[in-house]
Chain A
Amino acid sequence: MLNDLASAVIVIVAVLFVLLTTIAYLTYLERKILGFMQDRLGPMEVGPWGLLQPLADGIKLVSKEDIIPTAANVAIFKIAPIISLVPAIISFAVIPFGKNSFHFLGITTHPYITDINIGILYVLALSSIGAYGLLLGGWASNNKYSLLGALRSAAQVISYELNAGMAVIGVLLLAGSLSLVRIESAQSGGFWHWYIFPQIVAFVIYLISGIAETNRTPFDLPEAESELVAGFMTEYTGMRFSLFYLAEYGNMVMVSCIATILFLGGWNSPLPFLDFVPPFLWFMLKVYFFLFFFFWIRATLPRLRYDQLMKFGWKVMLPLSFANVIVTAIVVYMIRR
């Protein structure tokens, strides 16, 4: 009993540490990658190669004045960033980062916080709750730009969450389980077992929907700088603003983790003779590839128009994901019979 508690605490602390460091350095990584792709150097001043930039940004954001607009709905204004951030972080409870249980201070523990049998459903549910944070924040600011940004983000998140969910179903049919640990185990033994190959359509749909759900370029209409100032975040300053920022980057890591687990085999090594590399490293490698892809896309594509976004979501992605589910279901039924 005590041993279980201790192991849970160790894993939670480790996951939070890794996650928050990753999020902090994602801001640095994003600026560096964007800079390099635009023939610039990115941040260089704070520390060697600007490596202490996230620390400096954090200190700046915390020490900034906390402004609450007079006309704002204070209670909702204050709670919205928290509603946005908390689901983004607690959904990491079901992510399996590695394969083997390990020993720490004499306590045996496993590399995930919990393995619930509805893992993927839990993640999808929490990501929907996160959208409330943006909506409430945009509404409570009592600012037309915030409200427009919030409405856009609500419409966008709802339309694309549907596609992401439909894309996931294909993988679930193949794996026969909702538990993320079991989905990963089902893909072990070389890269030809990964679900990216039978589910390539679902993979593309999930990736596009993931970018749209996290409000990243080219789907960053909710915070379109050139049209809506900063969308739902317009009235936020200092620490509250940074909470929204953390939530956005947390969601990015989340989408990358899910894409890794569902389509790239999670901690499985691509070739059997590469098994000596720890599974945790394989997992991180794949997650960072997706994160790099996020920034890569941002450096490449311009923002979509709002009607293009909706047309693409409902008229292209949704029928495709439905078709994918139906075809997968029929094939799986034929094979298993």
Chain B
Amino acid sequence: MTLKSLMKSIFFVEIAQGLKLTFTHFFKKKITVQYPHEKLELADGYRGFITQRRYDNGQERCVGCDLCEAICPAKAIRVVGDIHPEFPDRRYAKEYTLDFTRCIFCGFCVVACPVNALSMTKEFAHSSFTREGLIYSKDQLLALGDRCESESISYLKIRNMWGAEDSGKDEGRYHFPPISATQSGG
């Protein structure tokens, strides 16, 4: 032990340095966000709860193609597609359930969807007393979509999935015309 290091330990130099550091942090601005009282603003690309979307006239977009079910890595989505009862040239999802207890919020289903029927919101605080309560049916997903329409659209835009309806970048994304238009035409 050299004289210098001996003096250092006798006068607690290193401990004093540590004390000084903690004391300066005592007066620093605190980084805590008091969550329920104040909330951070989430980015547009935030992957929150998944929604189902409608066309402007209220027609649901989903065509029951099963692509989201196929790509889902957590096997959270179940789609039962069927021929639309009123319009035999159309398909739709007779049943569509999304199990949020399994969902890993990766957003693959939104990417896979050819008609932009799925999008993601900024909601993340859904909770339930039962497991069944977090398995959302098609109606619940549509209701969520109605409530968070602007968030869904901004998600699709920021993720370059806003297709033919706008001057979007992803022109290859197929756009089914709304059913009412088809009906009037044929």
Residues of chain A whose beta carbon lies under 8 Å from any beta carbon of chain B: 33, 35-41, 44, 296-297, 299-301
Contact = CB atoms under 8 A, between A and B. Distances in A.
Nearest to A33: B26
Contacts of B22: 37, 296, 299-300
B23 interface: yes
A37 B34 contact: no
Contacts of A36: 25-26, 30
Nearest to B31: A39
Nearest to B18: A300
B28 interface: yes
Contacts, number: 36
Interface residues of B, number: 14
Nearest to B33: A41
B15 A301 contact: yes
Contacts of B34: 41, 44
Contact of B30 (A39, A297, A300, A301): A39
B32 interface: yes
A331 B172 CA distance: 95
B30 A40 contact: yes
Contacts of B25: 36-39
Contacts of B7: none
**Majority SS at the chain B contact face:** helix
A37 B21 CA distance: 9
A301 B18 contact: yes
Nearest to B28: A39
Given A301-B15, A301-B18, A296 B23 contact: yes
A33 B23 CA distance: 10
B19 interface: yes
Interface centre among B15, B18, B26, B28 (most CB of A within 10 A): B26
Interface string B25-44: 11011111010000000000
Nearest to A218: B15
16 contacts: A33-B26, A35-B30, A36-B30, A37-B22, A37-B25, A39-B25, A39-B28, A39-B32, A41-B30, A41-B32, A41-B34, A44-B32, A299-B22, A300-B15, A300-B22, A301-B18
Contact of A37 (B15, B26, B32): B26
Contacts of A297: 19
Contacts of B18: 300-301
Contacts of B26: 33, 36-37
A323 to B, nearest CB: 13
Contacts of A35: 30
Given A299-B22, A301-B15, 20 more contacts: A36-B30, A37-B22, A37-B25, A37-B26, A39-B25, A39-B28, A39-B29, A39-B32, A40-B31, A40-B32, A41-B30, A41-B32, A41-B34, A44-B32, A44-B34, A296-B19, A296-B22, A297-B19, A300-B18, A301-B18
Contacts of A40: 30-32
Nearest to B21: A300
Given A33-B26, A37-B26, A39-B25, A300 B32 contact: no
Nearest to B32: A41
Interface in B25-80: 25-26, 28-32, 34
- The 10 A-B pairs at the shortest CB distance, nearest first, are namely A41-B32, A300-B18, A37-B22, A300-B22, A299-B22, A36-B26, A41-B30, A37-B26, A37-B25, A39-B31
A36 B32 CA distance: 10
B143 to A, nearest CB: 32
B175 to A, nearest CB: 50
Nearest to A302: B18
B63 to A, nearest CB: 48
Nearest to B24: A37
A87 to B, nearest CB: 31
A111 B18 CA distance: 38
B39 to A, nearest CB: 15
Nearest to B27: A36
Contacts of A44: 32, 34
Contacts of A37: 22-23, 25-26
A139 B63 CA distance: 70
B31 A300 contact: no
A93 to B, nearest CB: 34
A200 B21 CA distance: 24
Contacts of B15: 300-301
A33 B26 CA distance: 7
A217 to B, nearest CB: 12
Nearest to A320: B10
B123 to A, nearest CB: 24
B57 to A, nearest CB: 47
A296 B29 CA distance: 18
B37 to A, nearest CB: 9
Contacts of B28: 39
